[in-house]
């Protein structure tokens, strides 16, 4: 995809962040790997007035062209540097994920869909002042072997190979957060064991390649006629 097309898609995804309810106002930010650097949303510009030319081009050494980049550019840069398996970093202040983050709560395997983030938990990173290197360092720890994390007293980060994938995951993290907040009203919910979550995550991996579960003697596999 050309840089021009990436910029347009970023604007579209940003507006969908707000329309989906996972972000509000000028909060949140988005980046995508491009050429030898990355593109990132500018600082303090409402998504409804942002256009493709407002997207900022940055180098991994912190140099940029155009508007002032998002104040969170450090964790975007560091995640893209350390995680060669992903191309997109999406950060938002979705209400229920942020509610859990305000209590520094990790999301456990109370529901099997927790596995969409790559493990049996969605960790919460330690708190640090927004825009700082300390926040970036904490986020990298929480994201180890994961595709999403919460940020203590701040929000959430979701990763993806594509812009669509990162948006889908951010919405899923918010949905799981909402369910977990609701479940906690009845008390601590039971947690699925590690061996079951290993099966769930492997099954999710298989299904992403279009392979249905293979359970011998239990109905076989779906097949196209």
Q: Specify the residue for token string 């904490």.
A: 138
| C-alpha–C-alpha distance, residues 168 and 4, integer Å | 23
- Whether the CB-CB separation of 20 and 94 falls below 8 Å is answered with no
**Does 72 qualify as catalytic in the annotation?**
yes
- Between CA 56 and CA 59 the distance in angstroms is 10
Closest CA to 169 of 17, 34, 40: 17
Task: Please identify which of the residues 9, 48, 72, 172 carries the catalytic annotation.
Answer: 72
Between β-strands 124-125 and 148-151, what pairing exists: parallel, antiparallel or unpaired? parallel
> Which residue has tokens 């918010």?
174
Length of the chain: 225
Q: How far apart are alpha carbons 136 and 72 in whole angstroms?
A: 8
Is residue 157 helix, strand or coil? strand
Active-site positions read 72
């Amino acid at each position: 995809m050309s840089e021009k097309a990436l910029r347009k898609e970023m604007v579209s995804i940003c507006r969908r962040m707000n329309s989906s309810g996972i972000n509000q106002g000028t909060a949140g930010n988005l980046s995508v790997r491009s050429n030898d650097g990355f593109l990132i949303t500018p600082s303090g510009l409402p998504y409804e007035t942002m256009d493709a030319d407002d997207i900022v081009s940055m180098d991994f050494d912190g140099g940029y062209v155009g508007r002032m980049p998002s104040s969170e550019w450090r964790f975007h840069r560091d995640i893209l540097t350390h995680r060669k398996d992903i191309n997109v970093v999406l950060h938002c202040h979705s209400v229920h994920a942020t509610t859990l983050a305000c209590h520094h709560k990790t999301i456990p395997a109370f529901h099997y869909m927790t596995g969409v983030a790559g493990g049996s938990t969605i960790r919460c990173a330690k708190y640090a002042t927004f825009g700082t290197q300390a926040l970036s360092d904490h986020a990298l720890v929480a994201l180890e072997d994961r595709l999403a994390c919460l940020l203590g007293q701040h929000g959430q980060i979701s990763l993806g190979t594509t812009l669509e994938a990162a948006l889908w995951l951010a919405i899923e993290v918010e949905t799981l957060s909402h369910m977990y907040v609701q479940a906690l009203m009845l008390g601590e919910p039971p947690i699925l064991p590690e061996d079951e979550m290993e099966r769930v995550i492997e099954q999710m991996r298989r299904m992403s390649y279009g392979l249905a579960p293979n359970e011998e003697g239990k109905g076989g596999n779906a097949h196209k006629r």
